[in-house]
Amino acid sequence: MSNKKVHNAHIRTRLPALHRALIEIVGVINRPERDEALLGAAGLPLERALFPLLVLVERLGPIGVVDLAGRVGRDHTTVSRQIARLAELGQVTRHGGATDRRVREATITPSGEDATDAIDRARATMAVGLFKDWDKADFDQLVRLLGMLAEDMTRPPEKNA
């Protein structure tokens, strides 16, 4: 058997365990109480549903509402209302897109940056507690491998994989 076939067979054998781990991680990340704990630790009285949108606008903005909706798995009309709410709170600004004025984009404001900075500090504190018993090499390997996975997952799927 060729090395490629052995490698592919190994991947197929280990995929269920990887899939279970990813489902568990996503499930924990998506739990409302996790977001509420993070917002509480950051000292932000922000509505829980607005929190991931604010963070994504800060990380990826300016970003269109349709793109943002796809990233959070929500309807674009819902996200549009939520971005309007963040604009009312002074956390983001809304404007026509740089290349297409029909596209509505959101950009973080200085107040929104202050909020995401507080979230980042709270997240770092929580993460230090989570990883306190990990050795440096294991943590570094996790960061490297998750970076590889994220990069590979952003590429379009191969037709005949």
Evaluated on CA atoms 35, 92, 86, 40, the torsion sign reads positive
Domains of the chain: 31-130 (1.10.10.10)
Q: Can you give the pLDDT of all 161 residues of the chain as single tens digits? A: 577 777 788 889 999 999 999 999 989 888 889 889 999 999 999 998 898 999 999 999 899 999 999 999 899 999 999 999 999 999 999 988 677 666 789 999 999 999 999 999 999 999 999 999 999 999 999 999 999 999 998 888 776 55
Model confidence, pTM: 0.81
Check whether the bond before 62 is cis (ω within 30° of 0): yes
Enclosing H/E stretch for 94: strand 92-96
Q: Can you tell me the distance from the alpha carbon of 47 to that of 58, in angstroms, rounded to the nearest whole number?
A: 17
